[in-house]
Amino acid sequence: MAMKVADLLVEVLAEAGVRRIYGVVGDSLNGITDSIRARQDLDWIHVRNEETAAFAAGAEAHLTGKLAVCAGSCGPGNLHLINGLYDCQRNRVPVLAIAAQIPSPEIGSAYFQETHPEHLFAQCSHYTELVSHPEQMPRVLEIAMQTAISRRGVAVIALPGDVALQTAVEDKPRLHFPTPQPSVCPSEDEINTLADLLNRSKRTTILGGAGCARAHADLIALAGKLQAPIVHALRGKEFIEYENPFDVGMTGLLGFSSGYHAMMNCDVLLMIGTDFPYQQFFPKDATIVQIDLRGEQLGRRSKVDYGFIGDTKTTLRSLLPKLEQNQDDEHLSRSLEHYRKARKGLDDLAVGQPGKKPIHPQFVTRVVDQLASEDAVFTCDVGTPTIWAARYLTMNGKRRLLGSFNHGSMANALPHAIGAQVTYPGRQVISLSGDGGLAMGMGDLLTLKQHDLPVKTIVYRNDSLAFVELEMKASGFVDFGTDLHNPDFAAMAEGAGVLGLRAETPEQVEPMIAQALKHDGPALVEVLVSRQELSMPPTITLEQAKGFGLFMAKAVLSGRGDEIIDLARVNLLR
Ligand SMILES: Cc1cc2nc3c(=O)[nH]c(=O)nc-3n(C[C@H](O)[C@H](O)[C@H](O)COP(=O)(O)OP(=O)(O)OC[C@H]3O[C@@H](n4cnc5c(N)ncnc54)[C@H](O)[C@@H]3O)c2cc1C
Ligand SMILES: Cc1ncc(C[n+]2csc(CCOP(=O)(O)OP(=O)(O)O)c2C)c(N)n1
Ligand SMILES: [Mg+2]
Which active-site residues does the annotation give?
A: 50, 112-113, 382, 467
Total Cβ atoms within 10 A of residue 309: 19
Q: What angle do CA 435, 400, 23 make, to 5 degrees?
A: 65
Nearest Cα residue to 271 out of 305, 319, 246: 305
Element at 156 (helix H, strand E): strand 154-160
Sheet with 456-461, side-by-side order of all strands = 400-403, 377-380, 429-434, 456-461, 523-528, 499-503
Q: CA torsion angle for 93, 438, 482, 79 (degrees, to 10)? A: 50
381 touches ligand 2 (CB under 6 Å) = yes
Task: Indicate the pTM of the whole model.
Answer: 0.94
- Best probe residue, ligand 1, of 212, 274, 346, 540 (max atoms within 8 Å of C-beta): 274
Whole-angstrom distance, CA of residue 464 vs CA of residue 354: 24
pLDDT of residue 248: 97
Q: CA torsion angle for 507, 510, 514, 516 (degrees, to 10)? A: 70
468 touches ligand 2 (CB under 6 Å) = yes
Whole-angstrom distance, CA of residue 70 vs CA of residue 49: 11
Q: CA torsion angle for 123, 125, 131, 135 (degrees, to 10)? A: 140
276 touches ligand 1 (CB under 6 Å) = yes
Cross-strand partners of 529: 359
536 touches ligand 1 (CB under 6 Å) = no
Give me the long-range contacts of 483-490 (CB less than 8 A, separation at least 24).
484/435, 484/436, 484/439, 486/435, 486/439, 486/461, 488/526, 489/435, 489/438, 489/459, 489/461, 489/524, 489/526, 490/524, 490/525, 490/526
| Atom number in ligand 2 closest to CA 464 | 20
535 touches ligand 2 (CB under 6 Å) = no
Q: Ligand 2, atom 21: nearest CA belongs to which residue?
A: 384
The ligand minimizing its distance to the Cα of 467 is 2
Q: Ligand 2, atom 13: nearest CA belongs to which residue?
A: 465
Nearest Cα residue to 415 out of 375, 385, 394, 444: 444
Output the tens digit of pLDDT for each of the chain's 574 residues: 789 999 999 999 999 999 999 999 999 999 999 999 999 999 999 999 999 999 999 999 999 999 999 999 999 999 999 999 999 999 999 999 999 999 999 999 999 999 999 999 999 999 999 999 999 999 999 999 999 999 999 999 999 999 999 999 999 999 988 888 899 999 999 999 999 999 999 999 999 999 999 999 999 999 999 999 999 999 999 999 999 999 999 988 788 888 988 999 999 999 999 999 988 889 999 999 999 999 999 999 999 999 999 999 999 999 999 999 999 999 999 999 999 998 998 898 899 988 888 999 999 999 999 999 999 999 999 999 999 999 999 999 999 999 999 999 999 999 999 999 999 999 999 999 999 999 999 999 999 999 999 999 999 999 999 999 887 776 667 789 999 999 999 999 999 999 999 999 999 999 999 999 999 999 999 999 999 875 444 444 444 444 444 444 333 222 222 233 233 333 433 3
Ligand 1 centre from 440 Cα, in Å?
Answer: 25
Count of positions (residues) in the chain: 574
Q: Write out the DSSP string of 348-371.
A: HHS---TT-SSBPHHHHHHHHHHH
103 touches ligand 2 (CB under 6 Å) = no
E strands, 236-278, are: 247-250, 268-272
| Atom number in ligand 2 closest to CA 410 | 26
- Best probe residue, ligand 1, of 275, 291, 402 (max atoms within 8 Å of C-beta): 275
